[in-house]
Structure 1
Amino acid sequence: MSKKTEKKESARRASTRQLIGTKAVTEYSLVTYGHGELVFFLVKPSNISVLSEASVGARIYALMTVLKGIAEIEILCLNSRENFEDNKRYLRERMEREDNPVVRGLLEKDLVFLDRIQVQMATAREFLIVIRLRAEKESEVFPYLSRIEKSLKEQGFSVKRADREDIKRLLAVYFEQNVTTERFEDFDGERWIIPDD
């Protein structure tokens, strides 16, 4: 068997976790292949449009202080709502090809509707502080994470360490754009298993 065929076959048999590069979702982290263990802190954003220039400057200075104090910090910004760009692109292409004016009108109304939804959710962003755990001893992890959380709160940030359900939701939004599920399963079909009495 050629290397190309072998590679395709191994990719076909790979689990979803292997394909996205994760080993496990723990109670407080995402364990990855080759990128360490990732701990996420959810940061509630400030509405800077209503803050004075001095207050915005103070928020920037607070973030700078956090970044200088914690060298391992990474910042991530994700959509916390669905993204309709692919659907809108499809509708535009479909409208260009459509000859029937009634169908073209319906497609245009769909496009306007998606635009309206997206505008309503335009500020739906999620800001995350990411810490990569590399060689920390298990006994040192929680005190280390608590110090980081305390440092963020001391600088005025509203922050929460992501738990298992938060991490699964982040992965669902990032990979699937799924924001409608209330509880995410660890295994597909898990909700249908009835434990023995």
Structure 2
Amino acid sequence: MATAHDRAVLRRIFHPDAPFGELSGESEEEELEGGARADDAFDPQRLEEATRLEMQGVTAAEAGDLDDALESFGRAIELLPERASAYNNRAQAFRLKGDVASALEDLETVLRLSQESGPVARQGFVQRGLIQRLRGREEEARRDFEQAARLGSPFARQQLVRMNPYSALCNQMLSEVMKQLRGRQIPPGEASSGVGGPS
């Protein structure tokens, strides 16, 4: 059976859009634990084969062979149709291939199978939010990122901040202030006593 390390490698390789924070630290441990608990319901031999097929699909996708990746993910789904992980990975392959409709269909299945909770659902919401954002559907993307953030996704929280127009304006103003401060020469006495000098 695949080890926790194997599953971590699978997640890192096949979810390149997620920042490292999304797949490392506590989030990764929780994801691996959550995935292991969800996987306990399946026959160990079928689970091992499905996981092997998923890893084979990841390898193919990484090599640029999306058709082979889709075939491997499809076989994993046929083997364990009630396991959400392969649908998440197949959705990513569909998206990379430009088949957004099929990706969204698989993500709906992920959310249904996971009952919109846990690490697999969190990743499903993030993927669907990214697709919605790319399609210009900001409100749908915001809802998906809100759901993912409630499930503990730091990446989704970052996206929500970026989507907030007031936050974007504040960030722009702060950036301009920082540029001005970097260009200003600070006299030696002023640096130690603060910006306004001694009070």
Sort the TM-score into its range (normalised by shorter chain).
under 0.3
Between Structure 1 and Structure 2, the one with more strand by share is 1
Give TM-score scaled by structure 1 length. Answer: 0.25
- Greater relative CO (CA pairs within 8 A, separation 6+): 1
